[in-house]
Amino acid sequence: MKKRVQDKILLYRIQVKKDPEAYAQLYDAHVSAIYRFVYLKVSHKQDAEDITSDVFLKAWGYLTDNKEKDISSLRGLLYTIARNNVVDFYRSRAKQNDKETDIDEYTQIKSQHNMFEDVAVGQEASQLLRVIKTLKQEYQEVVLLKYIEEFSTKEISAITGKSKTSVRVTLHRALKKLKELLESQDES
To another protein, the closest distance from the beta carbon of 60 in angstroms equals 5
Angle of helix 103-114 relative to helix 123-134, nearest 10 degrees?
160
Residue 18 contacts residue 27 (beta carbons within 8 Å): no
- Computed from CA positions of residues 165, 88, 53, 15, in that sequence, does the dihedral angle turn out positive or negative? negative
Residue 57 interacts with another protein (CB under 8 A)? yes
CB under 8 A: which stretch of 92-100, 103-111, 124-132, 158-166 binds another protein?
A: 124-132
Stretch that binds another protein, among 35-43, 75-83, 93-101, 102-110 (CB under 8 A): 35-43
Distance between CA atoms of residues 85 and 10, nearest Å: 24
143 binds another protein (CB under 8 A): yes
CA 147 to chain CA centroid, Å, is: 12
In angstroms, the CA 46 to CA 35 distance is 11
By CB under 8 A, is residue 99 in contact with another protein?
A: no
Of 55-63, 79-87, 94-102, 151-159, the window that binds another protein (rule: CB under 8 A) is 55-63
Among 1, 2, 3, 122, binds another protein (CB under 8 A): 122
Q: How far is the CB of 102 from another protein (least distance, A)?
A: 25
Q: Does 117 bind another protein (CB under 8 A)?
A: no
User: What's the distance, CA 100 to chain centroid?
Assistant: 24
